[in-house]
Chain A
């Protein structure tokens, strides 16, 4: 069965304290992996797409990486405005998206 698991469920960091969020998956034929940011009460905002193992993408303080079993979203020197829920989704061979439950990130000043 196709499955996406995100960990941890919640992560509290001090401003400037770097860390990583994990998205592990089992899927039949990976087409792509997507990362989104979601602020409370709003729709998800697209961040990155990764298509093959070894690929990396960066945007400001965020860097996404992909292996054959998981993806990491690295956050370097985060600021309070990086606080949000980060969602991961995997696109399977039939183009269906399977979503993880998200990681709630809280950055304290």
Chain B
């Protein structure tokens, strides 16, 4: 079955730690995205990638980093510079940048 997988489902981070969230898709989509979801707010774009080895900052990129070495994979690292990382993180992909985004199941990150 084609789809998007995210791991882990739950992640706990200590102060000062970097953590990496995994996102894999087998839809053969060129574009991939990372969003952050907080209660009462719309989804906010962290980073996006339209093609392998290329990515752009979204609206809230500070404290985050990404890589796109393979078409199928778009991992997100939450660095210690992100002061308020507790949130629900969603990965999405689309056939092109103008296409309909399809979402993974999400990763809930909590800072201890």
Contacts and interface: CB of A to CB of B under 8 A. Distances in A.
Interface string A90-109: 01000111111110000000
A43 B97 contact: no
Interface of A: 4, 9, 31, 34, 36, 41-46, 49, 87, 89, 91, 95-102
B90 A102 contact: no
10 contacts: A34-B101, A43-B92, A46-B103, A49-B100, A89-B43, A95-B97, A97-B45, A97-B101, A98-B42, A102-B42
Contacts, number: 46
Contacts of A43: 4, 6, 90, 92, 103-106
Given A41-B108, A43-B106, A44-B90, A101 B40 contact: yes
Interface residues of B, number: 20
Interface of B: 4, 6, 40-45, 90, 92, 97-98, 100-106, 108
A31 B98 contact: yes
A62 B49 CA distance: 32
